[in-house]
Every structure is written in C-alpha cells, then in structure tokens.
Amino acid sequence: MKKFLKRLWHFIVSLFTHEFEITIYRQSTTTGNMYKSVYSAKRIMIRKDKHLKFRDWNSKKVVEVRSSSGLEYKIEEK
C-alpha cells in the first residue's frame, strides 16, 4: 500500500512539472563548424554560465556539458 501511494504521489507531481527543450550550440575548435544538439528535460540540475547538467527525458541519461569559455544554449518551455 505504501509503494502504491508513493507512486501515485510521484505521478500527480509529474503532471504539474514543466518540460523544457534544451538546444546546445557547439563550435569545433579545428574546423570552426557549428553543431546543434537538442534535448528534452523535465528538470535541470545545474544551470551556470560554464556548466549545464540535466537528465534527458528521451534516453533517461544524465547529460553534463562544461566549457571553459562559456556555453551557448537555449532553454524553451514546452
């Protein structure tokens, strides 16, 4: 009974959380080409100028991006 109530509570809370679409832009140092990666996440763990960490909703893996010169990213609410 306790497990059922816990799962029910998590389900109800998940209905009210927002989903974010995160787009990360990276530039290759050797060729200068721009690369774009798009992720979908419900929670962002760390959001700083040079560090971004979140759990990808599609693959269920933790994505951590760091850069010494700063990150270029866009976060949109779905």
CB 75 within 8 A of CB 65: no
Q: How many CA within 13 A on the CB side of residue 49?
A: 3
pTM of this structure: 0.74
Eight-class DSSP state of 71: -
The residues spanned by each domain of the chain are: 18-77
pLDDT at 39 over 90: yes
Distance, CA of 31 to CA of 44 (rounded, Å): 31
Query: How much of the chain, in percent, has pLDDT values that exceed 90?
Result: 59
Distance, first Cα to last Cα, the chain: 34
